[in-house]
Amino acid sequence: MTNKHIIHKPISPEILEFANNHEGSREAALEVLKDIQAHHSALTTDSVTDAARALKLPPHQLYGMATFYSMLSFEERKKVLRVCDGPVCWLKRGSEQLSVDSGQLSVERTSCLGLCDRAPAILVDDEQAGPIEANEAGKVCEGWRGAPMDYSKARKGEVRVMTALIGKIDPDSIDDALANGVYGGLKSALQQEPIAVLSEVEASGLQGRGGAGFPVGRKGRFVANEKRTPRYIICNADESEPLIFKDRVLMDTNPHQLLEGMTIAGYACGASEAWIYIRGEYEYQARRLENAIEGAKSKNLLGENILGSGFSFDIHVHRGAGAYICGEETALIESLEGKRGEPRLRPPYPPTYGFRGQPTAVNNVESFCAVPHILKNGAEWWKSLSGYKTPGTKMYMVLGHVKKPGLFEAPFGLTLRQIVKEFGGGMLKGSKFKFALCGGAAGTITDESLLDVPIDFSSGQKGVSLGAGAFLICDQNVSPVAMLRELLHFFAVESCGKCTPCRVGTWRSLEILDRMTAGKGQKGDVEELKILADLMQVSSFCGLGQSVGIPMKSALAYFGAEFEKAES
């Protein structure tokens, strides 16, 4: 028998206060853990247990969270310098490692920071910085952070709708936003019946911009048709997929456009409250959004009885703490409820059973940002923006070995060739197109044979996925084996671990690819990768595991010879 007596200790008054600051809400578990970490530079078993007791939750739940989110730590840290491990930063950085005097900073590797246009990028506590060369670490300690990329000037061929006001307004000024017509869509919406607003969005054919392309209007109608109230709106701003940073730019340059879109969605769906779930690494953007919310409230564009319409709506900002899986909408909801960000069983889907079990519409930042323009100018106008079968415009990101990497807005139906040549300014001098990673980390890898496929939500079946609209262009010097290794490293680190195929499959695939890139491949490696890709694609619990097979299978299909060469 154990002789250790369990002594009852009172909860630390400090932790009780942290909990009370959030009304002891169980949903605030992540905030309480972050508060503890901020005050003590690390979590401990005792502090996590105390937090659980203060929130009346089982300690394993808080410990499960504390060990789940990558920004929480049980190790004492100083100022934390997070070095991005994303594929774009990897491509830019090469094999050189950032060397930092560890006397001043705690250095960590981290999954993609969403700063691909500032690659190689870093995060210094919550300050975004880049691009930084490997030998320039010293200037970080002196306060250097670099500057975000300037998108105020449109590229040739761009059709700017959501990005129209970049550089033309002060994003922190509500007056500037109002003077430039932001909230015009909301005013127009409030003069119509909610059902008419939904019909307009449906008629526009707007598809979800997170990658799946589900019709935004139809999702809204599912929520509006649910009888139960309250209904909720959630904005998925957990942009954690490598290559993707469009939502950050949208929130950074025109936060009011997002708030407006969400408020219209709330009106149309009969929702009363909304949350923006923003990844923890976007602290700067989170503050900007909070400031914008205050601004909107001061003009009665949010809050009680908006513009005298009788409609009341509130938006909250919720910060994540480092977990790619929280971009999966049900995992996001779990996280928002103060749990580990693990995907839920579906069905029921969020429109029926979402946040707090209530009807919830979860949409991507870009989807919400498109809505005000549709309401302001009409569905027909939105359709007319595109000469292609998919209506409207889309944010694209072109990265890698092109002359002008970055972000642009254009209609659907672009080809890779157009993206590289017309928008990306062509390949870098001395670079020849070898392959592109399309859509995001979970997209296809394709060679030059598919340069002329028009890209839309269904072109993934032809081998060029749209995903969230990012294209990483790689030249003759990049090995697809090494690229795939980077992607699998990301998936293995970010797999939540819930289901067997993804938990072990990503790890095993990474092990094989590690070996192949180190020149120690073995006979049968390629075959095993194929088998694992197949299994993960059909057997995994959620979209994360199911999509790991996409880059694996396409890379093996187009560059099979290189993989086979790496076997020996």
Partner 1 sequence: MAVNIKINGKAIQAEDGKTILQVAKEHNVRIPTLCYHKDLNPTGNCRMCVVDVNGWRISPAACVTPVWEGMEIETDSEKVMKDRKLTLELMLANHPQDCLTCDVAGECELQDLAYEYKAEVPAWGAKGTRYKVDSDPNPFIRVDMNKCILCRRCESACAEIQVRDVWGVAKRGFDEVMVAGAGVPMLEARCESCGQCVAYCPTGALSNKMSYGMARAHQVKKVTTTCSYCGVGCQFDLLVKDNKVIGVHSNSEAPVNGMALCVKGRYGYDFIHHPDRLVRPKVRRYLLEGGGKPVSSDQLSVISDRLSVSSDQLSVTSDQLSVTSGPWDWVEVEWEKALDIVADKFADTRSEFGADTTGFLASAKCLNEENYLINKLARQVMGTNNIDHCARL
Binding site for partner 1 (CB under 8 A): 1-2, 4, 6, 45-46, 48-49, 52, 58-64, 66-68, 323, 325, 340, 345, 347, 492-501, 503-508, 511, 531, 534-535, 537-541, 546
Which residues, including other chains, have CB under 8 Å from residue 403's CB and lie 6 or more apart? 424, 425, 426, 427, 428
The smaller minimum CB distance to partner 1, of residues 15 and 402, is found at 15
Phi, psi of 502 (to 5 degrees): -75, -45
Least distance between partner 1 and beta carbon 541 (Å): 6
Tell me the β-bridge partners of 439.
none
Shorter beta-carbon distance to partner 1: residue 1 or 38: 1
Q: How far is the CB of 538 from partner 1 (least distance, A)?
A: 5
Whole-number Cα distances in Å, 392 to 204, 271, 371, 409, 518: 8, 26, 11, 10, 45
Task: Work out how close the CB of 149 gets to partner 1 at its nearest, in angstroms, rounded to a whole number.
Answer: 32
What distance separates the 2 farthest-apart alpha carbons in the chain? 77
Q: Which tokens belong to 430?
A: 């001395």
CA distances from residue 362 to 226, 327, 336 in whole angstroms, order as listed: 15, 10, 12
Edge-to-edge order in the sheet of strand 360-364: 314-319, 273-278, 232-237, 360-364
Concatenated DSSP letters for 75-115? S--SEEEEEE-SHHHHHHHTT------TTTEEEEEES--S-
Contact between 137 and 100 under an 8 Å Cβ cutoff? The reply is yes
Is the CB of 63 or the CB of 457 nearer to partner 1?
Answer: 63
Name the minimum Å distance from CB 451 to partner 1: 27
Nearest approach, Cβ of residue 331 and partner 1 (Å): 11
Q: Which is nearer to partner 1, 267 or 324 (CB)?
A: 324
**Secondary element (H or E) of residue 317:** strand 314-319
Q: How many CB atoms lie within 10 A of CB 490?
A: 25
Helix (H), strand (E) at residue 562: helix 560-565
How far apart are alpha carbons 91 and 99 in whole angstroms? 18
Residue closer to partner 1 (CB basis): 446 or 547: 547
Nearer to partner 1, 471 or 541 (CB): 541
Q: Between the CA of residue 387 and those of 91, 158, 381, 411, 454, what are the distances in Å?
A: 35, 13, 12, 8, 12
Q: Of the two residues 250 and 532, which places its CB atom closer to partner 1 in the complex?
A: 532
Residue 400 or 443: the one with the smaller Cβ distance to partner 1 is 443
Minimum gap (Å) between residue 1 Cβ and partner 1: 5
